[in-house]
Amino acid sequence: MTDWEVYALRYATHEDRVARENFTRPIDLHDAPMPMDYFFWVLRQGHRVIVVDTGFSAEVAKARKRPLTRTVAEALTQLGIEPGTVEDVIITHLHHDHAGNLDLFPNAQFHIQDAEIAFATGRYMGASCIRYPFEIEDVVRIVRAVYAEQVTFHDGDSELTPGVCLHKVGGHTGGMQMVSVSTARGRVVLASDACHYYANMQQQNPFVIFFDIGQMVQGWRLARQLAPSEDHIIPGHDPAVRRRFPAVTGSSGETVALHLPPNV
């Protein structure tokens, strides 16, 4: 049995945002509202839980003016998950909205690409235009986790456990990775920030933050190869995800089930 349950959990939002902030190339209706949601993801199979990304803290939410809808710990608790018991956490990349709160997971191994740690600690961090989505304390924290033997490095594609695969794509950052997961409705691809919004991929118009635009395009192609349909590709920040998939009871629509068929 390799099928997993997969959940998207929203923890923050940025309502006051317009379309031109989400695309590299000029677009029509560039002043139209286009809010951004912030998610992390949970994979569950019986008692086994894998967390994908770890959000940001209340302090970072305040500093960056991205209000939390709930904390990552609250979101996990609502699904009946005690963070301290989680043994595997996949970090898709080290930007502030994906790699905070690591202290919530004292018993976890953090799975990350070699290239991402090299990127976040290397020469390009000397440039503010590349550095600004990172929080230095998150990067220092992951280095501490390396020294504490809490990091499992991956180089390229690998199967973490039956039904859960990591796919290095780069593009958005130096070592960005996607996650594909076997579910009862087929393989779900958690693109994370390999694709922020469905529209980035559909219109071939990348989100404004990228390290390598060619790798970004290759990431979209890979997502489409891996997924049986577009409904199996889950972008990292699109509010449409919460409309498209069934809400988990009691979550007020903040947590949706990606292993179930889409609403329409």
Query: Which residues bind to Zn ion, rule: CB under 5 A?
Result: 97, 193
Cβ-based nearer residue to Zn ion, 97 or 135: 97
- Report the distance separating Cα 29 and Cα 33, nearest Å: 9
What per-residue string of b and e applies to 136-167 under the rule 16 or more CB within 10 Å gives b? Answer: eebbebbeebeeeebbeebeeeeebeebbbbb
Cβ-based nearer residue to Zn ion, 185 or 242: 242
HSE (side-chain half, CA atoms, 13 Å) at 181: 30
Tokens representing residue 66 in the block: 């991205």
Residue 40 CB, nearest approach to Zn ion (Å):
10
Task: Report helix, strand or coil for 165.
Answer: strand
Residue 184 CB, nearest approach to Zn ion (Å):
28
Tokens representing residue 124 in the block: 């390009």
Cβ-based nearer residue to Zn ion, 56 or 245: 56
The Cβ of residue 177 has, within 10 Å, a number of other Cβ atoms equal to 29
The span from the first CA to the last CA of the chain, in angstroms, equals 28
- Report the distance separating Cα 58 and Cα 242, nearest Å: 22
| 150, 152, 215, 126: CA torsion to nearest 10 | 40
Residue 70 CB, nearest approach to Zn ion (Å):
17
Residue 130 CB, nearest approach to Zn ion (Å):
15
Residue 219 CB, nearest approach to Zn ion (Å):
14
Cβ-based nearer residue to Zn ion, 22 or 182: 22
Cβ-based nearer residue to Zn ion, 97 or 116: 97
Cβ-based nearer residue to Zn ion, 38 or 45: 38
Tokens representing residue 133 in the block: 């989505």
**CB burial of residue 225 (10 Å; 0-12, 13-18, 19+):** exposed
Residue 171 CB, nearest approach to Zn ion (Å):
13
Residue 27 CB, nearest approach to Zn ion (Å):
20
Cβ-based nearer residue to Zn ion, 5 or 37: 37
